[in-house]
Amino acid sequence: QLELGEGEAIRIATGAHLPLGATSVIRDEYLSVDEPSRMVRRLPDSPHRNDARPRGEDWTTGFTIAPTGTAVTPAVISAAASGEVFDALVRGPVRARLIVTGDEIRRTGPLREGQTRDSVGGILPYLLESNGVQCVANSHLRDTADSFERVLADGVDQEADLLVVIGATGGGAADEMRSALDRLGARTIVGRVASRPGGSQITAVLPSGLVVLGLPGNPYAAVTTLLTMLPTVMAALTGSDTPPPLLGIIENAAAVSSDAVRLLPVTQSEDGRWRADPSVRTAHLAGLIERSAFALVPAHSDDGAVAELVVIPR
């Protein structure tokens, strides 16, 4: 192993290990080398500094690389490896069971009279995973008297932390989920929300600790409600902080607002403000095509109102 004596120097690659005895590093561009005498001299007007990187210059013993509640992102994993940390206690990933409800919903095969194609069951797992949730099951539930109570009870044994149910959240004759939750002793966290769409959503916790997120049945309402509520549910299940909202200025808020919060697709203008679509059909997701976000436009807004923006996963 090479060892330098006093007054000796050697050229090394950037980032290479320093040989024993080295006390300083000077960049190549700051030096001149006289080949006959093999003398190294610092160039005039070059900075007087040591470009060596001493061990522990960024972090001392006991330094916290990422505080409790931080999401385990690629940056966290890389920074931990830089500090020789390869094991950590984590919560997650959150595991979700997805259930699409309704006798009128058909997933495969030709539609029969009165049936509707399941146009969201296939994309909800992707939307869940884009928010850090692992979808462990994806199924369809018929409208029967005991179907909800049975599936809610079974969900406890499915190694899931979250049960996402699409449909049956309203108050209609076939909407059995709320009564099933009541019979099972669930604690309702969010019963209804003053928004359009998404007002009939429900968030509840069963005695077992299983979280139930009930989404409206219309595709647009289901997707926008999921993307709006999921970060908060995730934070609660993992003990992390709820991410701060992304805010934007809605230039035409007065024209699109109503007496409740409206979830509307938006397009960014050249000046950085956002323009909301005046209306959107909820029976499909065509209104989200070529849109990067939707806005929660406050009720009774004036033009230039600030609204929360929810980014649509690509």
Burial class (CB in 10 A: 0-12, 13-18, 19+), 131: middle
* Cβ-based neighbours of 288, under 8 Å, separated by 6 or more: 220, 223, 265, 294, 312
Q: What is the pLDDT averaged over residues 85-96? A: 90
What does the pLDDT read at residue 174?
A: 60
Q: What is the pLDDT averaged over residues 284-311? A: 97
pLDDT band at 241 (very low <50, low <70, confident <90, very high): confident
What does the pLDDT read at residue 126?
A: 95
Q: What is the pLDDT averaged over residues 180-193? A: 92
Task: Tell me the C-alpha distance between 120 and 108, whole Å.
Answer: 13
Token pair 């849109």: residue: 291
Tokens of 176: 């059995």
Higher pLDDT, 172 or 43: 43
Q: Is the pLDDT of residue 196 over 70?
A: yes
Q: How far is CA 102 from the centre of its chain?
A: 28
User: Which domains, ranges and CATH numbers included, belong to the chain?
Assistant: 1-58 (no CATH), 94-238 (3.40.980.10), 246-311 (2.40.340)
pLDDT band at 92 (very low <50, low <70, confident <90, very high): confident
CB atoms within 10 A of CB 220: 23
Closest CA to 169 of 133, 126, 214: 214
pLDDT band at 257 (very low <50, low <70, confident <90, very high): very high
State pTM to two decimals. 0.81
| Cβ contact 164:195 at 8 Å | no
Q: What is the pLDDT averaged over residues 11-24? A: 90
Q: What is the pLDDT averaged over residues 5-10? A: 91
pLDDT band at 239 (very low <50, low <70, confident <90, very high): confident
Q: Is the pLDDT of residue 183 over 80?
A: yes
Token pair 């809610």: residue: 152
Tokens of 273: 């403000």
Tokens of 284: 């499909």
Q: What is the pLDDT averaged over residues 10-16? A: 89
Where does residue 159 fall: left (phi above 0), alpha (psi -120 to 50 degrees), or beta otherwise?
A: left
Q: Is the pLDDT of residue 189 over 80?
A: yes
When the pLDDT of each residue in the chain is averaged and rounded to a whole number, the result is 91
What does the pLDDT read at residue 150?
A: 82
Q: Is the pLDDT of residue 303 over 80?
A: yes
